[in-house]
Structure 1
Amino acid sequence: MTTTTRDASSGWLYGPIPDLLLGCGVLFLLVAGAFSVAGGALFRAVPPYVPELVIALVSAPHYGATLVRVYEQRADRRGYFFFSVVATSALLLLFGVALVAPIVASVLATVYLTWAGWHYTGQNYGIAAMFLRRRGVPFDDTARRLLHASFVLSFLFVLFVAHAQLEAIADPGREARFIPLAIPQSVNGAVLPVLLVAYAATTLGWIGLLARRAERLADLGPTLLLAGVQLVWWSVPYLGRFYGFGEGNVAIDWNARTLFFPWVAGAHAIQYLWITTYYARSSGPWHGQGRYYASILIAGLAVWTIPPLLFAPGVGEFDWNFALLLAATVNIHHFVLDGAIWKLRQPKIARVLIASEPAGAVAASTERTLLRRAVWAIAILGPLLTVQYFVDQYVIEPRSWQAGDAEAVERSLARQSWLGRTTAYDYFRLGRLLETSGQPDAAVIQLERSAAMEPRVESIKRVIAHALQSGDRARFIHACDQLFELDQVERPLPTIDLGLATRAEFLAFQEACVRVAQATRPVSPRASATGGAGQDGRVAAPEGYR
């Protein structure tokens, strides 16, 4: 067991290259720059499993690092009891309620999607301030307030634009959705220019003040980079959304936000792992990088895979909402714990991150209880289930599609559904494959499942056609009611009770349904549940309903 620290006089944690690449976001800027310079061609050429691997191997461990920090040692569990037990229990209770009450899920989603930008901002600000103090730049209250105000203002751009009513949303009482405050365009049109002026003033203020105080301008380099990263991650894409600029530049193009966000999340996670690993090896028992990474990888993957294993298969028509609900719950928990444990004003944190002094000897945990062993044994399911998902998603399922083996596709989707990783489009494609292979009865089951997960004209029309051909009146009425409930459809007449309706009433209902089905055209996939932010825990895949 060893404890490794670095002299704070160097101004770096690990050294200039790793600190700039990982902690200051230069690696992200290089990747984003390559995507943008290539005009999107390079970005589109990246296989979908690459960002998924980034999420699994980098983003998930950063959640695990917080869990290990708070729950691994008895002293930490007790020290953070309110957050580790009380707040966690309350959040788990809300999660349980949200499984059956979409409005609660929508509230959690809104809190998460609003808080996320602030969480990233706080981390960037904290690291920016840390570098200034480590490098001996005089950082008094005036400088601190200016720097802090600059980062806060960069977040306010996000807050105001995210909560503007820029696109239609579905009913948050029926589906898990982001619920914007619906700030009028006129208000944002007046407020955003004021915020831009204030941001420019505070940013130039702290740069000018610290440039005069620093021994070398290079000492401001890490802080300037972090301010730039903050703009690229959050402020510029949201301002581009409001003012209509950035199209074609992958890093800031709002239309690419959903697909690009995993790279932003990955960069944030790398930054977090960079600093939390330094703290872990400097503040207590250290058993090596490999063992530490294994522990946080297991813990991080567990919180993303075990809850779906328990709940996703049983939530029925709500299962397509489950990804956003899970992302909201896991992230809010992470934000709560993170806000409690990372404060530079805490003496222990300051000694390690600013002065590079060991935090003091901490006895290795001697806990070897049955409960502890059981928790880690269950957590091992996380990486095992993740490997199974990758094998199914990127090996078994594609080969089954290529071979036209509907049964193999169905088995693969069934396994993925236990982790809540299937989509309405998956079942639509399976239904179409079964249709072309001459299995209409099996096909309609998959099409109904697709329509239940995400009601769309394409799947509902095919169910209606199957029901008409087979004479299944109950299925026909149900599908027609689904069609009539679509946002772009005006219900032509009330539903009917098959057992009570006369022949004339049924024929009138049938005629109206067929007429509406023929007239209704597909629309683009439903408005983003995240308001376009792309933070629902999934890597979006292209959908081509046909």
Structure 2
Amino acid sequence: MRTAPAMGRFRLSSPVWLFGRTVDLSVFLGPAAAALLLVAVAQRQGWLDHETPEWTWVAGVLLVDVAHVYATAFRVYLLPSEWRRRPWLYGLTPALALVLGWAVASESEAWFWRLLAYLAVFHFVRQQYGWVAWYRARAGERDRWGAALDSLAIYLATIYPLAYWHAHLPRNFWWFLPGDFVGLPPALASCLAPLHGLALCAYALRSVLRGIGSGFWNPGKDLVVATTAACWYVGIVALNSDFAFTVTNVLIHGVPYLALTWRYARLTGQPSWQPRSPWAFGVLFLATVWLLAYGEELLWDRTIWHERGWLFGSARIEGNRSFWLALLAVPQITHYVLDGFIWRQSSNPQLRVLLEQQPVADPVAQLAVPRLSR
């Protein structure tokens, strides 16, 4: 990896990518382009004013959004060495999620969904920021003003649409269930709108001027900011459609995460039983997370929703509704919580395998390795 001294005094011969140019374009630009193309097609077909088609739910929600939650297993629960490193965190998180979730659901199902929705929103926002932070680290960017502008741009790209949503309730879409968000004054969104535009324009201007002046380009980071801004604005602000929100929300969130966990597993060689062929491991990886996602949604449908008999059958599972709500939300909550720990560079030096793109036999055993030098 190339590192850089103070910003503005260096020149990179080629742009820095996180996974590689082809993969980065595929997992960041690809889902965003597909989502916006689907929105355009849906507008022509008249789907935007109707319920989301079932095929969209299967392709977007089941195979991407739910499946990516289980990809966390390839970063934590299938790695004995990682288990040994933080057993309390990895063991107590799902246990506490079940206990606390059950307690809340028993008191108020509405508050259960509301708290879960806001936890999910926080997770979605932070993940987009996380990609920007990863690209900064990969390129060796360490200037504070640049970091502040990057943070401002990516946070406003997500927070402004959310503020607009809260200020214009009810919408024709929701996070989990109708009423899971609390209404806010429209003035809040009105105040954030110009800041949103200014931050994104300032980010774009700085990127162009820096590239022309110093020869430094970070196209992957620019791509994350641009696709996040476009998809969140189109899916939440520009359109009032469940279809538009679904495709613009889940694809740019889940697909890159699946690629990240797959890449980490390949570079570390863990779990040890993975096939040597990257294609064979890719098939095994996707088959595993898709099977687990289907199993979870089958239980949701048979215990709570009873909506998709054509996919999950008509049989019902009886039992305590509050318990089932809490139990089935455990994978989501665990994913949301652990994601704030397992990809943090400061406490996971083994993640250098992603920044340096160098295979390591057992990265967890090499935690004494210092962080990347300046």
TM-score (norm 1): 0.51
CA distance in 2, matches of 1:60, 1:142: 37
Match for residue 106 of structure 1? 110
CA distance in 2, matches of 1:86, 1:50: 35
User: How far 1:41 sits from its partner (Å)?
Assistant: 0.6
Match for residue 118 of structure 1? 122
Q: 1:292 is matched with which residue: 264, 270, 285? A: 285
In the alignment, does 2:227 pair up with 1:229? yes
User: How far 1:148 sits from its partner (Å)?
Assistant: 0.9
Match for residue 254 of structure 2? 269
User: How far 1:146 sits from its partner (Å)?
Assistant: 1.4
Superposed counterparts of 1:124-135, under 5 Å: 124-135=128-139
Gaps of 5+ in 1: 1-5, 169-175, 241-245, 247-252, 365-546
Q: Secondary structure at the match of 1:70?
A: coil
Match for residue 25 of structure 2? 20
User: How far 1:161 sits from its partner (Å)?
Assistant: 3.5
Q: Which has the larger radius of gyration?
A: 1
CA offset digits 1:76-97 (Å, max 9, x no partner): 2243334322232121113334
Match for residue 71 of structure 2? 65
User: How far 1:355 sits from its partner (Å)?
Assistant: 1.8
CA distance in 1, matches of 2:53, 2:267: 38
User: Is contact 1:61-1:299 (8 Å) kept?
Assistant: yes
CA distance in 1, matches of 2:302, 2:182: 34
Match for residue 357 of structure 1? 358
CA distance in 2, matches of 1:357, 1:329: 34
Q: 2:58 is matched with which residue: 52, 56, 59? A: 52
Q: Which moved more, 1:304-313 or 1:109-118?
A: 304-313
User: Is contact 1:164-1:180 (8 Å) kept?
Assistant: no
Cα gap change, 1:99 to 1:56, in 2 (>3 Å) = same
Cα gap change, 1:360 to 1:68, in 2 (>3 Å) = closer
User: How far 1:233 sits from its partner (Å)?
Assistant: 3.3
Count of aligned pairs = 327
Cα gap change, 1:235 to 1:61, in 2 (>3 Å) = same
Match for residue 383 of structure 1? none
Match for residue 196 of structure 1? 193
Match for residue 533 of structure 1? none
CA distance in 1, matches of 2:69, 2:79: 17
CA distance in 2, matches of 1:124, 1:341: 15
Superposed counterparts of 1:502-541, under 5 Å: none
CA distance in 1, matches of 2:263, 2:63: 18
Match for residue 6 of structure 2? none
CA distance in 1, matches of 2:39, 2:196: 28
Q: 1:91 is matched with which residue: 93, 97, 107? A: 97
Match for residue 29 of structure 1? 33
CA offset digits 1:189-232 (Å, max 9, x no partner): 2x323323333343344444444444546x33322222222223
**Identity value in percent:** 20
Match for residue 370 of structure 2? none
Superposed counterparts of 1:22-421, under 5 Å: 22=27, 24-36=28-40, 39-41=43-45, 43=47, 48-97=54-103, 100-101=106-107, 103=108, 105-135=109-139, 138-164=141-167, 166-167=169-170, 178-184=179-185, 188-189=186-187, 191-214=188-211, 215-216=214-215, 219-238=217-236, 240=237, 246=238, 253-254=239-240, 256-257=241-242, 260-262=245-247, 264-285=249-270, 286-287=274-275, 288-306=281-299, 313-314=317-318, 329-348=330-349, 350-361=351-362
CA distance in 2, matches of 1:260, 1:216: 37
CA distance in 1, matches of 2:297, 2:350: 28
TM-score (norm 2): 0.72
CA offset digits 1:14-59 (Å, max 9, x no partner): 442331121x233432442353266331757996235414433333
CA offset digits 1:319-375 (Å, max 9, x no partner): 9xx78x7775543322111111112334535412222133443699xxxxxxxxxxx
User: Is contact 2:123-2:336 (8 Å) kept?
Assistant: yes
Cα gap change, 1:42 to 1:350, in 2 (>3 Å) = farther
CA RMSD of aligned residues (A): 3.8
User: How far 1:282 sits from its partner (Å)?
Assistant: 0.8
Cα gap change, 1:25 to 1:329, in 2 (>3 Å) = farther
